[in-house]
Amino acid sequence: MTARQARTGADTHSPTEAETSASDREEIATLADIRRLAGGCRRCDLYEHATQVVTGEGSEHARLVLVGEQPGDQEDLQGRPFVGPAGRLLDRCLQEAELDRDECYVTNAVKHFKFERRGKRRIHERPNAGEVQACKWWLDRELKILKPRLVVALGATAVQALLGRAVGVMKQRGQVLPGPDGLQVLVTVHPSYLLRIPDSDAAERARSAFIEDLRKIHTVLGKQLSTRS
């Protein structure tokens, strides 16, 4: 598949043996293995234009995993998830919900930044189904290592990657849905959605609703997010 196909939404083809990266042939047993090997990922064409791969970060003992869509501009430059405007908003909302990001593991469904260049700006483009499926290889391994009790799906792309099907985020938000292999998935919006609401009153209502979604994590996990039971 060409880079143009990736931008226009064509599905990513399955890698041939020649295209398969070394990561497919190596045992991945730790999050450090993922960070070490993902930089050589060629499972789709997004690596061609991104600055670097952005894997997850956080507690290796986390019972709670937060999954977003993909890295943004700042994440791509810094090599860390959720460090841009949406990430800073997420941090504030987690605090208001009495949750500690340091006890969570934060990652994305897609590990490379997909964008359209407009002058000097890089404008976010939503990854297509093929790119999400290709990168699910890495997300599955993160979850297999962590074995979380709860995963929070931030937005439609994360829901699709985690559940393998489309779910109406606004209709199902705040609900815990069953995923594969016994995974529990709490559905909510992506914090970038809150940043795009132009009306300040509407934005504050949406922010409050998002915090209420996050507070439901306590119902499932209690207060100790990094203690395995």
Condensed to tens digits (0 to 9), the pLDDT of residues 28-50 reads: 999 999 999 999 999 999 999 99
Distance CA 170, CA 52 (A): 32
Whether residue 13 is predicted with pLDDT greater than 90 in this model: the reply is: no
Distance CA 44, CA 149 (A): 30
Confidence of residue 17 (pLDDT cuts 50, 70, 90): very low
Question: Measured at the alpha carbon of residue 94, what is the angle toward residues 217 and 32, in degrees to the nearest 5?
Answer: 85
Distance CA 104, CA 46 (A): 27
Q: Is 40 exposed, middle or buried (0-12, 13-18, 19+ CB in 10 A)?
A: exposed
What's the pLDDT at 22?
Answer: 53
Enter the tokens of residue 148: 């979380």
Pick the most confident of 20-24, 28-32, 78-82, 120-124: 78-82
What's the pLDDT at 228?
Answer: 53
Which amino acid makes up residue 222?
Answer: G
Condensed to tens digits (0 to 9), the pLDDT of residues 130-188 reads: 999 999 999 999 999 999 999 999 999 999 999 999 899 999 999 999 999 999 999 99
Enter the tokens of residue 43: 């499972």
For 26-84, the DSSP string reads S---SHHHHHHHHTT--SSGGGGTSSS----EE-TT-SEEEEES---HHHHHHT-SS-S
**What's the whole-number mean pLDDT along residues 117-124?**
94
**What's the whole-number mean pLDDT along residues 57-67?**
95
**What's the whole-number mean pLDDT along residues 67-73?**
98
What's the pLDDT at 1?
Answer: 38
Show Cβ contacts of residue 36 under 8 Å, excluding neighbours closer than 6 positions.
none
